[in-house]
Chain A
Amino acid sequence: MNIIKDSLSRRAFLKTAALIGLISSIIPDMLIPKRVLADAESGKKAADPKKLTPEEAMHIPKVDLPIIAEDGSLVPIIVSVNHPMEPDHYIKSIYILDDLSAIPSKGLYRFTPANGEAYISTRIKLAETTTVRAIAECNKHGKCEGSSDIKVTVGGC
């Protein structure tokens, strides 16, 4: 009796193990959270980055980054939006993120018309060569996204 039970459980174990191996080899992309995050937080992008329409030029945030960062633990960044800050039409927030870092969020910065300009300058940690994105939210026209590429020699996360 015992012998039969043992052989059955062993067979079941092998079956399960084989199934897990098969599933993880077919759908590895589903286990990567980066993609999910990138889809969740995004905004309207410029249709043609070289020729911005007046509305795009007003809403798409400008991301200033160095071309190459030698130290990934200290990368200066400036994000600004060339948008008027009037009491009824202004930039509500800027969200900075990098999908390839261990901590993708580089801060959510909320503004009011009293700021005069939607502008933030800070220093961030980057793990590898990446595209840093900034999402600006206008109280009338929704979210718009701008980005900038950077090469990182030594990661600093």
Chain B
Amino acid sequence: MAMVETQKPKMRIPSDIKKGSIVEVKVKIEHPMESGLRKDRETKKTIPKHTLEKMYIYYGGEQISDFDISPGLSENPLIGFKVKAVKSAPLKVVLTCSEGNKFEETVDIKVS
């Protein structure tokens, strides 16, 4: 079965961040996001459910957002959200998968 291998998520933030500005953070993760409703065209078998379920965002150790992700999102989700850069601190994203896997990635926000 041609399955997309899940990997560590990738995060992107703007290079130049001023203190107090609102910046957009993009998170990309390679994941099949199978709903469990689709059938394989050749074997006629249902493809098992394999999707991301939750996404937590921590900024300087504090949780600032949590998202419930559904398989209604496309394969290899790209999620963008905003953060108010009030301090230089690490920004951590944690994603959980329906198969019990956990993916984490951290970037350092440096304000000037």
Which residues of A are in contact with B by a Cβ distance under 8 Å? 73-75, 78, 85, 98, 101-112, 114-117, 119-125, 156-157
Tell me the count of chain B residues lying within 8 A, CB to CB, of chain A: 30
Extra 16 A-B pairs, beta carbons < 8 Å, given A115-B83, A123-B74? A98-B72, A101-B72, A103-B37, A103-B72, A106-B70, A106-B72, A109-B68, A110-B65, A111-B64, A111-B65, A112-B64, A120-B80, A122-B77, A122-B79, A122-B80, A157-B35
Quick check: A103 and B70 within 8 Å, CB to CB? Answer: yes
Q: Indicate if B78 sits at the interface (CB-CB under 8 A).
A: yes
**Nearest CB on B from A149, distance (A):** 18
Distance in Å: Cβ of B108 to nearest Cβ of chain A = 17
Q: Which residues of B are interface residues toward A (Cβ below 8 A)?
A: 22, 24, 26, 35, 37-38, 59, 62-75, 77-84, 86
Q: In the complex where A102-B37, A112-B64 touch, is A117 in contact with B75 (Cβ < 8 A)?
A: no
CB < 8 Å neighbour of B81 from A85, A108, A119: A119
**Looking at the complex, which one of B66, B71, B82, B86 makes contact with A117 (CB distance below 8 Å)?**
B82
Whether B84 pairs with A114 at a CB distance below 8 angstroms is yes
Interface contact B69-A107, CB-CB below 8 Å: yes
Q: 21 A-B residue contacts at CB 8 Å?
A: A103-B35, A107-B69, A107-B72, A107-B73, A109-B67, A110-B65, A112-B65, A114-B84, A114-B86, A115-B65, A119-B24, A119-B80, A120-B79, A121-B79, A121-B80, A122-B73, A122-B74, A122-B79, A123-B73, A123-B77, A125-B71
